[in-house]
Chains A and B, each alone.
Chain A
Amino acid sequence: GAVVSQHPSWVICKSGTSVKIECRSLDFQATTMFWYRQFPKQSLMLMATSNEGSKATYEQGVEKDKFLINHASLTLSTLTVTSAHPEDSSFYICSARVGGSLLNSPLHFGNGTRLTVT
C-alpha cells in the first residue's frame, strides 16, 4: 500500500491564484521530504528538500518565493504554488525516505498532483 499520500491528485486553477499541495507520510515520520516536478516524457526534476521545523532547501533555478514549502510536522509537508501561471502547469510529486534518518533508504513517492493553470 501507499506509504506517501499526496492530495489533491489533480487541480485546475485560474492564472494568478495560489494552489496548495499536501504530502503526508503514512505510518512513519519523515524529517525530510522531497518535492519533484515532472514534464511529459521527462525525468524527475528535484525542486526542493523540505526539512521539518526549518526552511526548505531549493535547487538552483527554483523560485522559493513562488514555490512555498512548509514542513510543520513530521508527517506533513505542503507545497504552495503562488500566483500560478500556465507555465507552472506540470506534474508535482513528493517523496520521503521510509527509513527516516537512514540516508541510504530509497525514496518512496506519492501519486503526484497534476496542476493545470488556465
Chain B
Amino acid sequence: QKEVEQDPGPLSVPEGAIVSLNCTYSNSAFQYFMWYRQYSRKGPELLMYTYSSGNKEDGRFTAQVDKSSKYISLFIRDSQPSDSATYLCAMSASGGSYIPTFGRGTSLIVHP
C-alpha cells in the first residue's frame, strides 16, 4: 500500500460544477497537508496549505482534512475550464526533514 493514494482520473465535469478531489493516506504522523495544481508542461503551483484537521477556504477552493479517517479533500466551486489541470495532494510529518510525500495526481477536465 502506498503512503498516499490518489485516483488519477481523469475526472470530467461541466463548467460550473462543484469538484471534489480526494486523497487517502496511511501514515498517521502526517500533520501538514498541501494541494498543488499542475498545468501540462509546468511545475506544480501551491494552492492550499493546512495544518492538522479542519477546513480552510480560499476563494473558490476549500481544503478539508479528516485525520481520524486519514482523508483529505479539495473542493472547487463554480469550476471553470481554466481549472483543467492535474491536482496533486502532498503531506508531511513534523520532525525530520518535513519532505512531503506526493500523491500521483488527479487529472481534472472542466468542459464548457
Chain A positions within 8 Å of B41 at CB level: 91, 112, 114
> Does B54 have its Cβ within 8 Å of any Cβ on chain A?
no
The answer on a CB contact under 8 Å between A109 and B44 is yes
What string of 1s and 0s marks CB contacts (under 8 Å) between A83-118 and chain B?
000000001010100000001101111111010000
B81 shortest CB reach to chain A, Å: 21
Q: Can you name 12 A-B pairs with beta carbons within 8 Å?
A: A4-B43, A93-B43, A103-B97, A104-B94, A106-B34, A106-B46, A107-B34, A107-B90, A107-B100, A109-B43, A109-B44, A112-B41
CB < 8 Å A-B pair total: 53
Mark A residues whose CB is within 8 Å of B: 4, 6, 34, 41-44, 46, 49, 91, 93, 95, 103-104, 106-112, 114
Interface size class of B (residues with CB under 8 A): 20 to 34
User: Which listed residue, A41, A43, A103, A108, touches B102 by the CB 8 Å rule?
Assistant: A43
Q: Of residues 86 to 112 in B, which have CB atoms within 8 Å of A's CB atoms?
A: 88, 90, 92, 94, 97-100, 102-105, 107
Residue of A with least CB distance to B92: A104
Q: Check A104/B43 contact, CB under 8 A, given A41-B8, A42-B104.
A: no
Q: What per-residue 1/0 map shows which CB atoms of B23-64 lie under 8 Å from chain A?
A: 000000000101010000111111001010000000000000
> In the bound complex, what is the Cα–Cα distance between A114 and B40 (angstroms)?
11
Known: A49-B99, A103-B97, A104-B98. A44 touches B49 (CB 8 A): no
B98 touches A110 (CB 8 A): no
CB proximity of B109 to chain A, nearest CB, Å: 14
Q: Is the CB of B92 within 8 A of A108?
A: no
Q: Nearest-CB distance from A75 to chain B (Å)?
A: 17
In the complex, the chain B residue whose C-beta lies closest to that of A113 is B43
CA distance A42 to B107 in the complex (A): 11
Q: Which residue of B lies closest to A42 (CB)?
A: B104
Smallest Cβ-Cβ distance to A93: which chain B residue: B43
Cross-chain contact B99 with A34 (CB below 8 angstroms): yes
A103 closest partner in B (C-beta): B98
Cβ contact within 8 Å between B43 and A43: no
Q: Is the CB of B105 within 8 A of A43?
A: yes
